[in-house]
Amino acid sequence: MTDEQIFKKKRAGDYDEVAKILGLTRDNVRMTLKRPNAKKYNRVMGVLRRIVELRETMQEQLRAETEIFQQ
């Protein structure tokens, strides 16, 4: 996924999760993501990417399980 796709798929609370994982403030995460040349950008973006990917994977698994139970 590209950075643009990640930003489109992020949800409320994702910055808080990234901040909690990396030990940063929410505002620091937000500002870092606005600056692609920042030192922490790749690390912060990597965690955000992982959060979005894990959420999508979990949703797909839950949909599949729900379909099995409905049959």
Digit-coded pLDDT (tens) for 40-49: 999 999 999 9
Which has the higher per-residue pLDDT, 66 or 4? 4
Rounded average pLDDT over 1-11: 93
Q: How far apart are CA 66 and CA 70, in angstroms?
A: 6
Q: Are 47 and 18 spatial neighbours (Cβ–Cβ below 8 Å)?
A: yes
What are the tens digits of pLDDT across the range 12-36?
999 999 999 999 999 999 999 999 9
Rounded average pLDDT over 4-8: 95
Residues 3-34: b if buried by 16+ CB within 10 A, e if exposed:
eeebeebbeeebbebbbeebebeeebbeebbe
Please state the pTM of the whole predicted model. Answer: 0.87
For the cut 70, the answer to whether the pLDDT of residue 71 exceeds it is: no
